[in-house]
Amino acid sequence: MKCIIVEDEETSIKRLMNLLDGMKDVQVIAVARSVDEAVEKVNELKPDLMFLDINLPGGNGFDVLDAVEHKPLVIFITAYDEYAIRAFEENAVDYLLKPFSRERLQSALEKLKRYRGDVQYEILKNLMDGLKRRFRELFPVRLGDEIRLIRQDEIYYFEADGKNVYINLENERFRFTGTLKDLEQELDPDRFVRVHRSYVVALDKMHRLRRWFKGEYILELKNGVRIKVSRSYYPILKKKLGL
């Protein structure tokens, strides 16, 4: 069985490859570390199986499933996410909860034998439809003795500045608890996109995109704010905008 690992953490990649080493029925043919790279390699190499992490640069594992033309069998890899795990179990989809053992991995591979690819993807479609409802709609920020609830449609962009994360509205800025990476997983990928290691931007608040130096672009928002789009994230933005 030819497989591809879709995972962005090097330690997790090495651990999974070590666990798969010696399993005669499984051959790792590629590793992908982002949504776009995963889609490209799955369609090109046509693996039988995909180990798919939920949290990825440029989106999440469900974006990969939406975009691939070739449909391999799937085993999800995830850190603890109570909502996602409950959805996996309710839909009889197997997953590996980090960190996992060789025995747990072997068990997941054994369960795959009951599926054909088209059957599993019908189940995965139901799962994705349910998980799409988990995206955060309200963002609480503390203002002295009060808590303001910011709606998703008010937000222009999220910004990581040192150890802090800020929510930026049209003319206001608020500190928010958490990391940009964790926050990105709670955002609807149809409404937000990461354009830089420090910025996640609302698609409907974008005004224009200008070419800058050395393959970079400047994104101007409707409120006049300009944000640099890094070369590594530009292909993701380009795809979201249909360019």
Q: What is the pLDDT of residue 42?
A: 94
Q: What is the pLDDT of residue 209?
A: 93
For the cut 80, the answer to whether the pLDDT of residue 41 exceeds it is yes
Distance from the Cα of residue 83 to its chain's centroid: 15
Judge contact between 49 and 72, C-beta under 8 A: yes
For residue 208, what is the DSSP state?
E
Domains of the chain from N-terminus onward: 2-134 (3.40.50.2300), 144-241 (2.40.50.1020)
Q: What is the pLDDT of residue 4?
A: 96
Where does the pLDDT of residue 220 fall: very low under 50, low under 70, confident under 90, or very high at 90 and above? very high
67 token code pair:
């975009």
Average pLDDT, the chain: 83
For the cut 90, the answer to whether the pLDDT of residue 74 exceeds it is no
Q: What is the pLDDT of residue 242?
A: 80
Question: What pLDDT, in 10s, does the model give residues 77-96?
Answer: 877 555 456 556 544 466 78
The owner of tokens 């101007």 is 220
Judge contact between 217 and 211, C-beta under 8 A: yes
pLDDT: which is higher, 38 or 67: 38
Which residue, among 241, 242, 243, 239, has the nearest Cα to 39 in the 3D structure?
A: 239
Q: What is the pLDDT of residue 219?
A: 95
pLDDT: which is higher, 87 or 111: 111
pLDDT: which is higher, 175 or 114: 175
Residue 111: CB partners within 8 Å, gap ≥ 6?
A: 94
Distance from the Cα of residue 9 to its chain's centroid: 13
Least confident of 15-24, 92-101, 119-128: 119-128
For the beta carbon of residue 77, count every other beta carbon within 10 angstroms.
22
Max CA separation in the chain (angstroms):
61
For the cut 70, the answer to whether the pLDDT of residue 107 exceeds it is yes
Judge contact between 11 and 18, C-beta under 8 A: no
Query: How far is it, in rounded angstroms, from Cα 225 to Cα 170?
Result: 9
Backbone CA torsion sign across 141, 158, 83, 16: negative
Where does the pLDDT of residue 66 fall: very low under 50, low under 70, confident under 90, or very high at 90 and above? confident
Question: What pLDDT, in 10s, does the model give residues 166-218?
Answer: 999 999 999 988 788 878 878 887 789 999 989 999 999 999 999 887 778 99
Least confident of 16-30, 112-126, 182-196, 202-216: 112-126
Q: What is the pLDDT of residue 232?
A: 82
For the cut 70, the answer to whether the pLDDT of residue 40 exceeds it is yes
DSSP conformation letters of 98-140: SS--HHHHHHHHHHHTT--HHHHHHHHHHHHHHHGGGS--EEE
Q: What is the pLDDT of residue 92?
A: 47
The owner of tokens 């808590």 is 147
